[in-house]
């Protein structure tokens, strides 16, 4: 009886899986933040959702999430897009996308937020920067 269930399970697995992925490749890239909203102060122990806006470069871009780097009290924030290669895309550099950044205040010092804003002529990252004090 166990062999019958094992055989049925394996057959179901083989039938439900497809090896044809239509040759779709996915890459991930940082996209520049164009706007964000932060409060004037943060409260220790509170959770927040900050609206963050970026311009979607094409219809092949899709919001994937956020990436962070932490250096002392500085939070470097990057919007990450999933980019579908080998697709028919339309350029949409004017479509602004807004998403929410979840943030929890876990330290009692002031936070410095640096939102990735692109690269300059020397291929150096540029940032939109704000310092937000924390109420203790």
Total count of residues recorded for the chain: 136
Mean pLDDT of 5-29: 58
Residue 89 pLDDT level (bands cut at 50, 70, 90): confident
pLDDT at 12: 53
pLDDT at 51: 98
Q: Tell me, which fold does domain 22-135 have in CATH?
A: Immunoglobulin-like (2.60.40)
Cβ-Cβ contacts under 8 Å for 124 (sequence gap 6 or more): none
Instruction: Enter the tokens of residue 91.
Output: 């350029």
Mean pLDDT of 68-86: 93
Instruction: Enter the tokens of residue 126.
Output: 């540029």
What is the H or E stretch that residue 16 is in?
helix 2-16
Integer CA distances (angstroms), 41 to 19, 35, 72, 75, in order: 52, 18, 18, 16
* Averaged pLDDT score across all residues of the chain: 85
């Amino acid at each position: 009886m166990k062999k019958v269930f094992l055989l049925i399970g394996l057959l179901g697995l083989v039938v439900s899986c497809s090896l044809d992925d239509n040759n779709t490749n996915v890459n991930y890239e940082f996209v520049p933040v164009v706007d964000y909203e932060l409060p004037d102060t943060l409260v220790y122990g509170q959770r927040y959702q900050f609206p963050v806006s970026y311009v979607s470069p094409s219809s092949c871009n899709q919001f994937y999430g956020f990436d962070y780097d932490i250096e002392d009290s500085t939070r470097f924030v990057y919007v990450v897009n999933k980019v579908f290669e080998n697709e028919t895309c339309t350029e949409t550099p004017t479509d602004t996308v807004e998403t929410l950044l979840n943030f929890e205040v876990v330290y009692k010092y002031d936070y410095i937020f640096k939102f990735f804003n692109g690269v300059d002529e020397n291929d150096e990252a540029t940032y939109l920067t704000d310092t937000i004090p924390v109420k203790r």
